[in-house]
A and B are shown apart, each in its own frame.
Chain A
Amino acid sequence: MQLKGWKDLAIGAVMLEPGSCLAYETGSWRTQRPILDLEKCAHCFICWIFCPESSIQVRGGKVTGIDLTYCKGCGICSAECPRQAIDMVMEATARKGAKDEG
């Protein structure tokens, strides 16, 4: 990618393109992965409110899963969930488990 020179960049480091953070996959930061147990989940949306990466996936008024492309593994959802429906597991373990299963 050709980077712009100082005369061509918008001043003040203002980003003019909305939603440009889509290109930044914060999921690569994750050392712990949230595992959601939908059996326990009451769909109260507390995790959805707190998630700093908007990674709690929702459809039809219900929590359906976690978007691991952007989930950075901060564990806030797990800490805030009143039903202990989200467990944090080490990313390496989660990956290994996924591999063993698949």
Chain B
Amino acid sequence: MRVKVKGKPVALRGDEAVAEAMRQINPDVVAAYPITPQTEIVQTFGQFVANGQVDTEFVAVESEHASMSGCIGAAASGARAQTATSGPGLALMWEMLWVASGMRLPIVMHVVNRALSAPINITCDHNDSMGARDCGWVQLYAGTMQEAYDNAIQAVRIAEHPEVMLPVMSCMDGFILGHTFEPIEILPDETVKEFIGTYKPKHSLLDVEHPVTYGSVVFHECYYEYKRQQIAAMEKAADVVLQVGQEFGDLTGRYYGLIEGYELEDADFAIVAIGSIGGTIKKVINDLRGQGQKVGLLRLRCFRPFPAQEVAQALGNKRAVAVLDRSLSFGAQAHQLQMEVAYALLTHGPIPKMVNYVYGIGGRDLLPSEIEGVYRDLMEVAETGIVPPGVRYLSVRQ
């Protein structure tokens, strides 16, 4: 077995760690909007550019719509293109998100999850990227800052895989991961360079010997076929996320899958969640396990493609499951993550009792005592066999 590469532990903010990953990736082009709701990712990366630490062509554009457009043009020209955004900035990109995925351009975008206006908020929830979940982008969600750094690197390989060729959103929770410090193991520059390799685009607008057209008009005769291709690429992306996660683990000792289970296998009661809340839930699990309660966590790392089989396999034998959404789908029967989990269980069965919770909207804290309360609810559901109707909204004032 090859010796694992040991990184350098440094205290960094999540944003800075991702900027550090971007420095090591050294993209050909970064087109980004440098003003709020932007985060320190672009600010820090901008310093690397100014210091000559990267070869990147940095384009400071006039809006987030333009930043995605810039990345699209660069990627269609065969460049490795990246950007970063957050909250309302991501919302402004919406139209161009479809263009990036529709043109099958392997752009990597670092997303720091923030709530959407109005009212103006800018702290963490997942409504920004959940609002973009149907745009044909692979979506990875980090649980820790280390994972945010590691995902940023793996995202390049996933996006550029010849059988995937889809843009990737590498997401992390705003403020909780983005703006706070943690010791993070930064890999040697050479290791990252070797891991991501060089990008050899199949087509390039700059290749005058082999001229191609990007962005042509395609009506009812063929449009549907191109969308069908994107569906297939997304299915393939699930295998590639696993492959790349395995390879990254062989290199660094940190293995990544589509989901992360914590004390999950023998658990009777499980919480399903996305993002940094996983850390708090693990703490509660440790406490409750200490009291002999069989509780566990399924943290989803990859939301698009949705790993239905893995989720169903992990949850099928539970007595009761709570799905924690940090995003809202107004008027829906349940919120985004719950809908996916429910359908995964419906199609892959068996189906445990499920309760949908919402938490953390607009940066609202979710306390360990409230998470414990969720597990207690699940125990009651299992005991009585009665699932309370409707969604439960945690820590909202009555």
Contact = CB atoms under 8 A, between A and B. Distances in A.
Q: Do A and B come from one complex?
A: yes
B233 A11 contact: yes
Given A11-B233, A14-B203, A14-B212, A4 B104 contact: no
A14 B213 contact: yes
Contact of B104 (A3, A12, A16, A20): A12
Contact of B226 (A3, A12, A16, A18): A12
A13 B212 CA distance: 10
A23 interface: no
B88 to A, nearest CB: 28
B102 interface: yes
Contacts of A12: 102-105, 165, 214, 226
Contacts of A15: 212-213, 216
B386 interface: no
Interface in A1-57: 3-7, 9, 11-16, 18, 20
Interface string B202-219: 010000001111111010
Contacts of B228: 6
A11 B225 contact: no
B222 interface: yes
Contact of B229 (A6, A16, A18): A6
B59 to A, nearest CB: 22
B222 A3 contact: yes
A13 B218 contact: yes
Contacts of B194: none
Contact of B103 (A7, A9, A13): A13
B214 A14 contact: yes
Interface in B230-254: 232-233
Contacts of A16: 203, 210, 212
Nearest to B205: A14
B212 A11 contact: no
B226 A9 contact: yes
Contacts of A14: 103-104, 203, 212-214
Contact of A3 (B215, B216, B221): B221
Contacts of B218: 13
Contacts of A9: 222, 225-226, 229
Give the dominant DSSP class at B's interface. Answer: loop
A6 B165 contact: no
B226 A20 contact: no
A53 to B, nearest CB: 14
Contacts of A20: 213
Given A11-B165, A12-B103, A13-B103, A6 B212 contact: no
Contacts of B102: 12-13
A2 B212 CA distance: 22
Q: Which of A6, A12, A14 has the most CB of B within 10 A?
A: A12
A7 B216 CA distance: 19
Contacts of A13: 102-103, 214-216, 218, 222, 226
Contacts of B225: 4-6, 9
Contacts of A18: 211-213
Interface string B342-358: 00000000000000000
Contacts of B212: 14-16, 18
A9 B102 CA distance: 13
Q: Which of B102, B105, B203 has the most CB of A within 10 A?
A: B203
Nearest to A24: B217
Nearest to A20: B213
A13 B229 CA distance: 10
Q: Which of B103, B213, B232 has the most CB of A within 10 A?
A: B213
Contacts of A3: 221-222
A6 B221 CA distance: 11
Interface string B161-203: 0000100000000000000000000000000000000000001
Kindly list the 6 A-B residue pairs having the minimum CB-CB distance in the complex, ordered from nearest: A12-B104, A15-B213, A6-B225, A6-B228, A18-B211, A12-B103
19 contacts: A3-B221, A4-B222, A4-B225, A6-B232, A9-B226, A11-B165, A11-B229, A12-B102, A12-B103, A12-B165, A12-B214, A13-B102, A13-B103, A14-B103, A14-B213, A15-B216, A16-B210, A18-B212, A20-B213
Interface of B: 102-105, 165, 203, 210-216, 218, 221-222, 224-226, 228-229, 232-233
Given A6-B226, A13-B103, 17 more contacts: A3-B221, A3-B222, A6-B225, A9-B222, A9-B225, A11-B226, A12-B104, A12-B105, A12-B214, A12-B226, A13-B215, A13-B226, A14-B212, A14-B213, A14-B214, A15-B216, A16-B210
